[in-house]
Every structure is written in structure tokens, then in C-alpha cells.
């Protein structure tokens, strides 16, 4: 029903992804498959909702309606078996904003904050730029999948770390944490009094055979120590609307968050975003299910293509997200070498892995949310250019 193979020319549209090739990579002909937005139109209902707001013609101060929050409640009940209440929801300008506020609000300067590396690079920024220290709990690669190192994690908690930034599902690896994995994590957090900020922006993008478990849904005890950061933006390709929300049943955690938003005058509702989000959650389900099939197909294609044409590169099979994590260490290139290979020789832009932490060195992250023809061209360029390094 929806055409995810149609090429949409995003050049000269003020696109963060497509209009910075010369500036970021020194090459205007780069094929960009890096930053995590999609090259697809959002669901038709979203476009219609925004157009209705445009046609109103008066773009005044706005509020998030009860129907907006109810759409969120219904979505997470329907898609994730998570019963949340409208009063637990607080809007925020973005996921990284929520992460940064949480670090500032729930720790003191100099405190250690736990993250599980390699991980989405703003996790490092929100810790360091708030004058806190990164307490790194490296993930373990076992049987082609990341797992948590609970013994090491416990030692960090014993050492005094009281805040954990959880990436669920994991970015860049695409791991969907299993119920028993999250329960074991939760037991440690309860034992040592650790607050959890769970970034679940990729929760709707699970691939066939995998189910997302919201961390706060595991028990009332865990819900009371958790702030979950969420958005419709990754799911429905809305990042330019600058909208997200947190969910917390703990009024103390939520209250601190809301006070900070008001102190910075970030508590007002966007004029366009709530209408778009409500339409997406109420009417975008079929679109999302077809998108997930397209992403799963692209993932399988990329895995097969690289296995045939560049077997030295090992691919982590994703369980969620539209991102593909490649282990390119067999090519023998450092970060600068991988960038030269991509930007100069292959004329593609993937994410270079060291930005996700030292554990990501020698890796690349590919955005699969594009038409198959674009992905094919990118893989062809990269494989041809990398072939000599793989010999």
C-alpha cells in the first residue's frame, strides 16, 4: 500500500542529512546513510493533520490536548502491553534534551553516570557536558549479539554510581533486551538505589521475531525508579518537529523534570507537533507495519550482500532499529582510515564507530531506512572501495 521504494530528492530542502555533504565530508557527491532519519514520507494522516493546522492561519500558543495524551496511552497499551496513565506523560523538546535534564537533575557535578558502551554518542555528551563522569559498563559480544556484563555493572553501583542511562532497544547494535535481561538489571538498580533513564525511542522498530519490553513495565517498583524517554519521531520520521515526551509514574522524578522545563520556558506545546503525533499514533499503524517489513528486507539484503562481496566485514544482525552495525576491523583501518575509505574512495557516509565509544572503534553504522536502490548503490560503492583492504 505504501511505496518505500520511491526516490524522494531531499537535496536543497535544508536537510541535515543531505545538504551538508561538502561541509561535513568535503565531497558533494557523497551518498549519505548516516544520521538516523528516513528517506520516506511520513504516514499520510500526519501530513493531513499538519495541513489542517497550517490552514487555520493563526499560529498562536498551543496546548497538548487530552486526546493527544490518550493517543499515546492507547498506542503503548496496544503495541507494547504497557498500561500508562495520561498524568505520567510530560512533553519535552527532544530525547537528548530529556537525557541531559535527567543527568543534571538526578546527579551532582562530579558524580559517575553509567552507560553501556558502545552506545548512541550523545549519551557521552550529556554526561560530560554536565560535568559528570562517564562510568562505562562495556557490553559483551557473544554469539553475534550484545549482552550486559552484570558483574562489572554491579561493581560500578557498589562504587557509588546512582544513575544509569539505558538504551532499550540498543543503538547502534540493534539488540532488543529480553525480559530476563532487564529484570536482572532492575534487581541491581533496586538493590543499590540507582535511578534509570531508559531511552526507548526505537521501541516501535522491532524486527520480526522480537518484542520490545518497556523497562518500567516490569514492576511497580521499577516504574518508580524510572524515567522513560520516548518519541514518535523515530517511528514515523518526524524528527524535524522537535517533539518527544517522558513517562514516569514517580511524581517526584516527574515534578523535578517539569520544574526544569518551566524554568527554561520549554513547557509550552509546539503548534504542529501534537497534532502530528496524535495522527501518527491513531492512524499510522498500517504504515509502520509495512515499514518494518521493508527495513527487515533491507537488513537481510545488506547482510547477504556483504557476506558475498565483502566477507571480511562482519555484520551484527539487528533485532530492532533501522541501523546496521558493521565490524570492519579486518580491514586494518583506524578511524581516520575508515573515514578516508568512506568519504574519498567509496563516496558514501556511514557513521564511524569510535563516536559510540572505544568499543566501537573499527566499526561502522549504516542507516537502512532508504529505498533498496539507494542501499544497493551504497553497498556497491563501499564494497568496491574496501576490497583491496580486505585482501
At what angle are helices 285-309 and 372-386 packed, to 10 degrees? 20
Helix or strand holding residue 326 (H, E): strand 323-327
- Are 280 and 43 in contact by the 8 Å Cβ rule? The answer is yes
d(CA 267, CA 92): 7
- Are 118 and 360 in contact by the 8 Å Cβ rule? The answer is yes
Structural domains of the chain sorted by starting position, each given as residue range(s) with its CATH number in brackets: 21-43+285-390 (3.90.1150.10), 59-282 (3.40.640.10)
- Are 30 and 18 in contact by the 8 Å Cβ rule? The answer is no
User: What's the pLDDT score for residue 6?
Assistant: 97
d(CA 262, CA 252): 15
User: What's the pLDDT score for residue 64?
Assistant: 86
User: What's the pLDDT score for residue 387?
Assistant: 96
Closest of 52, 169, 45, 160 to residue 113, by C-alpha: 160
User: What's the pLDDT score for residue 28?
Assistant: 92
Helix ranges (DSSP H) in 39-107: 44-56, 66-80, 95-106
Instruction: List, for residues 249-283, the tens digit of each pLDDT value.
Output: 999 999 999 999 999 999 998 999 999 999 999 99
For 307, list phi and psi in degrees, rounded to 5.
Answer: -60, -35
- Are 40 and 4 in contact by the 8 Å Cβ rule? The answer is yes
User: What's the pLDDT score for residue 34?
Assistant: 98
At what angle are helices 95-106 and 251-263 packed, to 10 degrees? 110
Q: Residues of the chain whose pLDDT is less than 70?
A: none
Instruction: List, for residues 217-233, the tens digit of each pLDDT value.
Output: 999 999 999 999 999 99
- Are 326 and 366 in contact by the 8 Å Cβ rule? The answer is yes
Q: What angle do CA 289, 320, 311 make, to 5 degrees?
A: 115
Q: What angle do CA 258, 93, 285 make, to 5 degrees?
A: 110
User: What's the pLDDT score for residue 1?
Assistant: 83
d(CA 47, CA 241): 12
User: What's the pLDDT score for residue 335?
Assistant: 98
Query: Half-sphere exposure (CA, 13 Å, Cβ side) for 344?
Result: 6
Amino acid at each position: 500500500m505504501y511505496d518505500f521504494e520511491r526516490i524522494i530528492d531531499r537535496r536543497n530542502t535544508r536537510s541535515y542529512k543531505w545538504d551538508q555533504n561538502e561541509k561535513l565530508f568535503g565531497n558533494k557527491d557523497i551518498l549519505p546513510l548516516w544520521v538516523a532519519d528516513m528517506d520516506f514520507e511520513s504516514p499520510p494522516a500526519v501530513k493531513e493533520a499538519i495541513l489542517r493546522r497550517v490552514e487555520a492561519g493563526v499560529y498562536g500558543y498551543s496546548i497538548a490536548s487530552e486526546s493527544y495524551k490518550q493517543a499515546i496511552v492507547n498506542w503503548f497499551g496496544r503495541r507494547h502491553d504497557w498500561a500508562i496513565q495520561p498524568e505520567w506523560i510530560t512533553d519535552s523538546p527532544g530525547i537528548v534534551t530529556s537525557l541531559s535534564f535527567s543527568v543534571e537533575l538526578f546527579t551532582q557535578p562530579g558524580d559517575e553516570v553509567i552507560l553501556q558502551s558502545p552506545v548512541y554518542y550523545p549519551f557521552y555528551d550529556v554526561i560530560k557536558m554536565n560535568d559528570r563522569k562517564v562510568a562505562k559498563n562495556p557490553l559483551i559480544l557473544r554469539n553475534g549479539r550484545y549482552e550486559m556484563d552484570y558483574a562489572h555493572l554491579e561493581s560500578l553501583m557498589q562504587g557509588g554510581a546512582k544513575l544509569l542511562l539505558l538504551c532499550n532497544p540498543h543503538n547502534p547494535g540493534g539488540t532488543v533486551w529480553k525480559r530476563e535481561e532487564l529484570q536482572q538489571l532492575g534487581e541491581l538498580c533496586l538493590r543499590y538505589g540507582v535511578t534509570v533513564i531508559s531511552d526507548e525511542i526505537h521501541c516501535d522498530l522491532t524486527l520480526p521475531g522480537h518484542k520490545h519490553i518497556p523497562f518500567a513495565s516490569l514492576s511497580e517498583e521499577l516504574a518508580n525508579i524510572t524515567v522513560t524517554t520516548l518519541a514518535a519521531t523515530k517511528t514515523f520520521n518526524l524528527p524535524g518537529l522537535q517533539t518527544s515526551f517522558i513517562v514516569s509514574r514517580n511524581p517526584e522524578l516527574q515534578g523535578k523534570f517539569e520544574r526544569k522545563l518551566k524554568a527554561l520556558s520549554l513547557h509550552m506545546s509546539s503548534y504542529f507537533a501534537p497534532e502530528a503525533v496524535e495522527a501518527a499514533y491513531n492512524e499510522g499503524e498500517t504504515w509502520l507495519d509495512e515499514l518494518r517489513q521493508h527495513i527487515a528486507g533491507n537488513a537481510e539484503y545488506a547482510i547477504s550482500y556483504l557476506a558475498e562481496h565483502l566477507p571480511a566485514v562482519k555484520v551484527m544482525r539487528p533485532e530492532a532499529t533501522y541501523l546496521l552495525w558493521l565490524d570492519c576491523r579486518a580491514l586494518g583501518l583506524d578511524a581516520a582510515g575508515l573515514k578516508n575509505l568512506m568519504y574519498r574512495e567509496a563516496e558514501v557516509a556511514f557513521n564511524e564507530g569510535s563516536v559510540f565509544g572505544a568499543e566501537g572503534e573499527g566499526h561502522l553504522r549504516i542507516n537502512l531506512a532508504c529505498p533498496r536502490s539507494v542501499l544497493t548503490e551504497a553497498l556497491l560503492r563501499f564494497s568496491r572501495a574496501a576490497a583491496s583492504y580486505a585482501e
